[in-house]
A and B are shown apart, each in its own frame.
Chain A
Amino acid sequence: MSRSAQEAQYGFAERWLPRLVLAPSFLLTLIFLYGFILWNGYLSFTASRLMPNLEWVGIAQYQVLFESERWWVAVKNLFIFAGLFISSGMVIGISLAIFLDQKIRGEGILRTIYLYPMALSFVVTGTAWKWMLNPGLGLEKLMHDWGFTQFTFDWLVNSEMSIYTVVIAGVWQSSGFVMALFLAGLRSVDDSILKAAQIDGASLTRIYWKIILPALRPVFFSTLMILSHIAIKSFDLVMALTGGGPGFSSDVPATFMYAMAFTRGQMGVGAASSMMMLATVAALVVPYLYSELRGKKNGK
């Protein structure tokens, strides 16, 4: 083959092959993410109940949604859960990472122990904690056996407190993952800066507070994104631990949507509630993605 023919061939391949190869994924994304968002949005403006019904009812389903007490309980629970889940997960995860960063013997084993809950499904976590927190035979009985006969712990069946049991199990499961992300970040901080700071006589606390943690801002933000995203999507944990109960006291938007769309024959309300979830996520994620992608381009 002559040299020019070869070049022409690569020219063609370079132009079209990459696009052709990317096309199936692009189409899948276009149809099944964006197309479905539109479709679901359309459903939320129709009179759909048990079956899809194309009759347009405007914002009636959103009105039903906003007048539903159960929805506002779910929204309030999401704020309680997300706030505590994210803040506790962060604090515990970062502390673990800093502790493990002190040239610890058996770091590998400890790391595996802290990280393994992340391998479990929320259904497993929920089932396990449901057993440990049940008032009859779980933690409460343990404390009684140990002599603390006044000890009561009935959060699981107490409609005021049930959402906090979801926080306990959620933090247990996810803090190890935060630790892994921050440990990876800590290890990538340049050693020479630390040495210089140490020679200047800065204390370890000061070095972490003033130098290392500020350098980990990107890790902090991506972890924040991951955790808030887990919190907004959290469905399995609530289903397995409390089933949204007692009553609907520990419902979150994800379980609310499932109940409306698939068990209570209120498809329109379900679609409307999922659009509200999407709007919340989009408000968080779109600015983040925008700055990420722009930042990367400028960085080049």
Chain B
Amino acid sequence: MGRALLYSVLCLLAFYYLLPLYVMLITSVKELDEIRSGNLLSFPLFISFDAWSKAWSSSCTGVECHGLSSYFFNSVKMVVPSVLISTTLGAINGYVLAKWRFKGSEIIFAMILFGVFMPFQVLLLPMAQTLGWLGIASSTTGLVFVHVVCGLASTTLFFRNYYVGIPDELIKAARLDGAGFWRIFFKIILPMSTPIIMVTLIWQFTNIWNDFLFGVVFSAGDSQPITVGLNNLANTSTSVKEYNVDMAAAIIAALPTIMVYVFAGKYFVRGLTAGAVKG
């Protein structure tokens, strides 16, 4: 295959992947008249950020018209504790399952692992009732709880697979030197864990920020995350469909995870290579 052909195929594909982002961006800065008179790809004649401020603070999601800002902060309040708790638990579980095996620990690992694949639809009805009994239904606390429980499987898997690759001799040597369970974890294991911590943080952040299912089922008005807000906004039927506001809202909802990818994406790819998703 000629190099020129190769590069043109690659660029064409890059264009295809960038197209929706380009369309979202230019649509969000166009006026409604221009959207109707121009077309999908036409460059805006003048740029206006009105749609952005409307999406952020005054667009209607159903009957309420407060924009997406409160949904955005709900998501922030939900994502930070969920990611930190599930990652910490995953690291400790992975450490035990890889380096402190005991009778039955492989079975426990297999049981936890099934949680990675299981369709969460099965949990929805019992979880809804349980959150009600615990008094955390329709609250951010409830969502954090659900995300921690459901994220445990993947974080444990990531850390376990990574820690299996750390030589056992290191642990043995440390134990001869008199280091115990926690000391080995904090002094030896944790300092070697940066790549897998990055992968897990990125993975969990993206998954939880982007979650829609739990958000739509387990939250109400003042705890709904940004994905639910965006969906409500885009599907609110009004007489005039404001595509520019929809697109600005979509970009606002996507911005945090895109930032994470642009600035930390290389750690993610590097971490994948380091065996996080080894077959």
Shortest C-beta distance, B21 to chain A (Å), equals 8
Provide the residues of chain A in CB contact with B113, threshold 8 Å: 289, 293
**Does B20 lie at the interface of the complex (its beta carbon under 8 Å from any beta carbon of A)?**
yes
**Does B96 lie at the interface of the complex (its beta carbon under 8 Å from any beta carbon of A)?**
yes
Shortest C-beta distance, A248 to chain B (Å), equals 16
Shortest C-beta distance, A111 to chain B (Å), equals 7
Task: Report if A116-B212 is in contact (Cβ < 8 Å); known contacts: A18-B181, A19-B102, A104-B10.
Answer: no
**Does A250 lie at the interface of the complex (its beta carbon under 8 Å from any beta carbon of B)?**
no
Provide the residues of chain A in CB contact with B93, threshold 8 Å: 21-22, 25
**Does A54 lie at the interface of the complex (its beta carbon under 8 Å from any beta carbon of B)?**
no
Complex Cα distance, B1 from A204, in Å, reads 9
Partner of B102, one of A18, A219, A271: A18
Q: What are the interface flags for A54-92 relative to B under an 8 Å C-beta threshold, 1 for contact and 0 otherwise?
A: 000000000000000000000000000000000000000
Interface size on A, residues (CB 8 A): 107
Interface centre among B6, B120, B260, by most chain A C-beta atoms within 10 angstroms, is B120
- Are A254 and B119 touching (Cβ within 8 A)? yes
Chain B residue, CB-CB nearest to A256 = B121
Provide the residues of chain B in CB contact with A229, threshold 8 Å: 117
Interface size range of chain B in the complex? 35 or more
Chain A residue, CB-CB nearest to B252 = A124
Task: Report if A236-B227 is in contact (Cβ < 8 Å); known contacts: A10-B180, A116-B261, A172-B17.
Answer: yes
Q: Can you name 18 A-B pairs with beta carbons within 8 Å? A: A9-B180, A10-B180, A17-B181, A25-B152, A29-B112, A32-B127, A99-B9, A112-B261, A116-B261, A128-B250, A138-B40, A142-B40, A218-B278, A236-B213, A239-B212, A253-B121, A274-B122, A278-B121
Q: Which A positions have Cβ atoms within 8 angstroms of B?
A: 6, 9-10, 13-15, 17-19, 21-22, 24-26, 28-30, 32-37, 39-40, 43, 52, 96, 99-100, 102, 104, 108, 110-125, 127-132, 137-139, 141-142, 145, 172, 176, 180-181, 183-184, 187-188, 204, 217-222, 225-226, 229, 232-233, 235-236, 239-240, 243, 253-254, 257-258, 261-262, 267, 270-271, 273-275, 277-278, 281, 284-286, 289, 293, 297
Given contacts A21-B92, A39-B126, A99-B9, 15 further A-B contacts (CB under 8 A): A17-B182, A18-B181, A19-B102, A43-B126, A102-B6, A119-B260, A128-B20, A132-B23, A187-B273, A225-B117, A240-B230, A258-B217, A285-B114, A286-B114, A293-B110
